[in-house]
Structure 1
């Protein structure tokens, strides 16, 4: 006689079958398809501005209520919520605001829309990168030091003072590692006799070369031919390593033979130009904190950690397998990692500062360093685009794409700052929108984007100072960005000068004149808008345009 299945057991069996289906490929595809369909419906439904205001208010409440919980799932939820709000803003921009009267307005309006599309793409890519920071921890080395590998330490120098380089060399020699398995190389592209004498006196090896071909990458490649360690630790000449650097970081390289690179953060014990010049001082996080605190940890989840030139361990066989450090671009570090990953190697990131260095001490030097990074990353984008070619998974492609596209920020930043001036100075409209619609669509988009980014950044970068960083850099990078996109082969390597710590402050006009000019233009534009509102007899639509464009520059700052 067969037993009758109880309702509880039937429900349990049904739940198991449902879980198995959702875990299968077909189930995942169906869930993703349903989610995308729901998102499409939520972002394209037509509402009046007043109705959208109600929705925006409700979503604002959801943000504050749900955001009180500090969990990974809540962060993902807020990212999805932000994406929906931003896509609704995009739908509104494409359907309700593109009404122009002249060809000039069409051109300027299209330029502004393109800048906004770029910002949305970067927003979504940042959410993708930070979806699950890996948070890798150190793993132990073999118990017997005799089983530890040999390590070559490369310390490149060109025009730095011996007083700076000396500390790094001595720090490298003092690392806790078997003496017969550690070789420190001072790579002097300046060919200075006093550096050779110092290396001989302290027990380091000295390597120079007759030319400076390919700059830092060429210096490294020359050293590879004259050394034989299984692993290479690269240190900028001002990055002083801790004694435990190798014991903390080498475990992953020994334990996983597929890892070609392990990167650690760049930590600076001197203030950068923003910290030095801003009243907030050290309360303002260094500019690089966002990259080393959030982005690299997120990249690690996608097996897309970038090589940053210093404080990194590389596997010699992987470097030799790609023909040495990349020399085709001025950012040899990121390009080298990309080439290794195209060959199937993995990379890793350990978010533990294991060396301390000098930050750029002057703003003009800081700008020059960022100009080189922008040139190099855009060179890679043009000549070795991560979306094309073999060897990368889609996570790696998107992480590299995000890094390269991020250096295009200067162009849309300048567009955002100057767009209102087209109306204030020349009477050309670049966006047709009412204040109510702007409040209903644009303000929620900006709030959720900034609020979610603040949640992700967790104090590694403050939203306000992020705007200051980018605005300061943008006016210098615009010309370089456009020129490199047009002709990526013209860029040349420039050395970031590290001359110690400034003892006194001074005003450097070279570092601020573009921002002074831009600030003056925006102030004049604001005065022009206020004059139009106060003294010109204009209709309601024109008055609305004056209000929107007059106060846009102030918020963009």
Structure 2
């Protein structure tokens, strides 16, 4: 995708303005004459400003350097008639996941499309050596590689499996990441094309080491779920997977994110296999492959979908492990001094490293205006008007430049909310890992853990910061009028911004119950419903379905059914029948179309096809972009209305219980 000259100019002007501001901040605003503690915090603040803006500059550099490359790097090639399609090992890595979850991934792997299916070898790598998993593999006719006494976590499991496999390409899937049927058709051609390109111009073409497809999820994450924004905010991980990593790949340095990737076996062997001395073997392996002289790319469209934890505790533990792992891996790789790392690859790795420091920076940013508002601790020694002139244009222009990404995945505001939410829990682990205090033990994130009342304890840091910030806003502005309010407007701006971020963080940390047992997917297919003991067949069109339910309408508006009416029928997946039976549980009308919701189950003989119909493709009921019409104010209003109503119900219920007890006494 080509960046217009106007946008390039915007990037350059914003960088210049911010650079001028930073030079002024460094040389003219640090309170050198104050006490040592204030000076240390002032230096921390300006240092964080430099690093924060540097990461923004790095992102703009990636966008500019990717101009003209994205289309060529991400356009899916086709298999050429003269090429022999290579053998591929599809490795599904499992540790202790539930069999029902693993079954969906194995089932989908058997439906992978490929010009020669005999060259696709599905392998289950199980370091638990569980008999039940072996039986599941046998039931699906796929290879099982068990392992006992694994002391090297996921890397040890994969390395053990690779010793017994020999295909030139292999794919890695986590147990919960369900591949789409097009995965191999949309990934292997990148390698066959690369082989042709190398044959034609070996000096100008890098060999392709691996291809990463985006991490995608078929249900909402904690931000979407807990903020009642499952229709308006894209998944928190989309920004990296479908934007940042695609830019990395345009510069031959896509980062391996642990699953949904296909590798050239030779590249992995040259990199020394999967590393075992880090919590993020994926990040480190990808970098080692790049350092070995191989390119890595990331595609734009997802080719698989999986689960993400919905409990706050699980999400935080997952991010702590990722953050610690990246600190370990960047230290192992010597990203700042290693002469074998190319310039753009170093930019990408440093950008990844600095990201994990954004959470500590966020706490410093929250503290700075609070210290001034409550205690008159001045960490920026500046005239108001000079600060306004030098800071505001660059700040707002840079934020605008960062927000006009072509894909509209995330706004800067929601990025700050996410940083604020994770900040209290990540800054200490990152500091400890940087100091060499390691957490070596690998723990698989439990993706289907239920949120509990105990998770509410995670709201305490945000709640304390929220109360302090609110008090600071009131104290700082109380009794001020006219020009006094104007002169304090920058402090008030930062306090209000952090107050908003903390408010949303509290809503996220409070959690809410997930009542759905299985996810609904928007799937457009056809079928038939049989009623009257199978004597009458009526054509239907599917609107959405899940593992236990279906929403459909009749092809003819003349047909209809009643609640509690039983039926049998047939659905179709790629013209293959799926036998179903069920019962109508609700009837609704949308856009003048009568929709029928029903419980449903598939026959044992067609159950695998039913699973494939559900999970083959992204869940289009979830947003892939930010809804520009829904503002943060709208989201805040929605949360206050819904949560306020829930709290009123709980209070009324509590009152009724108290009255009942008083009446009994």
Considering the TM-score relative to the shorter chain, is it more than 0.5? yes
1:64-463 matches, cutoff 5 A? 71-99=3-31, 100-131=33-64, 132=66, 134-135=70-71, 136-143=74-81, 147-177=84-114, 178-257=116-195, 258-456=207-405, 458-463=407-412
Corresponding residue for residue 462 of structure 2: 515
How far did residue 71 of structure 1 move? 4.5
Give the distance between the partners of 2:6 and 2:99, measured in 1 at CA.
51
Give the distance between the partners of 2:120 and 2:349, measured in 1 at CA.
33
Q: Deviations over 1:169-199 (max 9, x none)?
A: 1111111132321111111223322111111
Partners of 2:218 and 2:307 within 8 A in 1? yes
- Pick which of 408-417 and 374-383 moved more: 374-383
- Pick which of 214-223 and 253-262 moved more: 253-262
Give the distance between the partners of 1:330 and 1:318, measured in 2 at CA.
21
Q: Deviations over 1:74-127 (max 9, x none)?
A: 322211111011012112212332234322321221111111111111111111
How far did residue 546 of structure 1 move? 5.9
Higher helix share: 1
Give the distance between the partners of 2:486 and 2:181, measured in 1 at CA.
64
SS in 2 for 1:283: coil
Partners of 1:378 and 1:488 within 8 A in 2? no
Give the distance between the partners of 1:169 and 1:73, measured in 2 at CA.
48
SS in 2 for 1:366: helix
Partners of 2:324 and 2:439 within 8 A in 1? no
Unaligned runs of 5+ in 2: 196-206, 502-665
The higher-RCO structure (CA 8 Å, 6+ apart) is 1
Corresponding residue for residue 552 of structure 1: 494
Give the distance between the partners of 2:448 and 2:331, measured in 1 at CA.
34
Partners of 2:223 and 2:229 within 8 A in 1? no
How far did residue 359 of structure 1 move? 2.2
TM-score if structure 2 supplies the norm length?
Answer: 0.68
How far did residue 548 of structure 1 move? 4.6
Count of aligned pairs between the two proteins:
479
SS in 1 for 2:288: helix
How far did residue 437 of structure 1 move? 2.4
Corresponding residue for residue 532 of structure 2: none
Partners of 1:484 and 1:491 within 8 A in 2? no
Partners of 1:290 and 1:457 within 8 A in 2? no
Give the distance between the partners of 1:438 and 1:279, measured in 2 at CA.
38
Higher strand share: 2
Give the distance between the partners of 1:311 and 1:172, measured in 2 at CA.
12
How far did residue 284 of structure 1 move? 0.6
Corresponding residue for residue 18 of structure 1: none
Q: Deviations over 1:437-461 (max 9, x none)?
A: 2321222122111100111263111
Query: Residue 478 in 1 paired to residue 427 in 2?
Result: yes
Give the distance between the partners of 2:218 and 2:486, measured in 1 at CA.
50
TM-score if structure 1 supplies the norm length?
Answer: 0.81
Partners of 2:432 and 2:438 within 8 A in 1? no
SS in 2 for 1:512: helix
- Pick which of 279-288 and 93-102 moved more: 93-102
Partners of 2:323 and 2:430 within 8 A in 1? yes
Cα RMSD, aligned residues only: 2.3
Give the distance between the partners of 1:249 and 1:525, measured in 2 at CA.
54
Give the distance between the partners of 1:262 and 1:340, measured in 2 at CA.
11
Give the distance between the partners of 1:433 and 1:141, measured in 2 at CA.
63
Question: Do the aligned partners of residues 546 and 75 (structure 1) sit closer, same or farther apart at CA in structure 2, a change above 3 Å counting?
Answer: closer
How far did residue 364 of structure 1 move? 2.2
Partners of 1:529 and 1:547 within 8 A in 2? no
Corresponding residue for residue 50 of structure 1: none
Give the distance between the partners of 2:441 and 2:174, measured in 1 at CA.
19
Q: Deviations over 1:504-543 (max 9, x none)?
A: 9968314322211221221222233234759xxxxx99x8
SS in 1 for 2:92: strand
SS in 2 for 1:442: helix
How far did residue 227 of structure 1 move? 1.4
Give the distance between the partners of 2:47 and 2:421, measured in 1 at CA.
22
Partners of 1:189 and 1:208 within 8 A in 2? yes
Give the distance between the partners of 1:408 and 1:71, measured in 2 at CA.
29
Partners of 1:240 and 1:357 within 8 A in 2? yes
SS in 2 for 1:256: helix
- Pick which of 132-141 and 246-255 moved more: 132-141
Question: Do the aligned partners of residues 72 and 189 (structure 1) sit closer, same or farther apart at CA in structure 2, a change above 3 Å counting?
Answer: farther
How far did residue 313 of structure 1 move? 0.4
How far did residue 415 of structure 1 move? 0.2
How far did residue 244 of structure 1 move? 1.6
SS in 2 for 1:285: coil
Give the distance between the partners of 1:266 and 1:511, measured in 2 at CA.
26
Give the distance between the partners of 2:183 and 2:34, measured in 1 at CA.
64
